[in-house]
Amino acid sequence: METLTKVTLDAQFEEFHKNNPDVYRELVRLARMMKARGHKRIGIKMLWEVLRWERAMKTTDQTEWKLNNNYTSRYARLIMENEPDLKGFFVTRGLG
């Protein structure tokens, strides 16, 4: 049962990521801003909430900016895998 849940969440994340490439780009932008300010490691959820706030300020349609908290750890791993300058930047725990 645990494996089924993980596969389902991974599939949901992949679909969301494919349909919302701007989320990845914005998280990378925010991470690089923090790194430029001297931070060595941060939690992805801080950036997630900043992104959520920024999107809320730009739109009145709440369906346009929903961000599922279940995706944060996957974005952290994806960013660290794809962006050499951000490798090891996010604090992560094991996936359940």
What total of structural domains would you count in the chain?
Answer: 1
In a domain, 11, yes or no: yes
In a domain, 31, yes or no: no
Q: Which domain holds residue 62?
A: 1-21+49-96
> CA 4, 75, 89: angle at the middle one, nearest 5?
130
In a domain, 43, yes or no: no
- Provide the 10 A C-beta neighbour count for residue 38: 6
Global pTM?
Answer: 0.84
- pLDDT tens figures, 19-68: 999 999 999 999 999 999 999 999 999 999 999 998 888 776 666 567 88
In a domain, 91, yes or no: yes
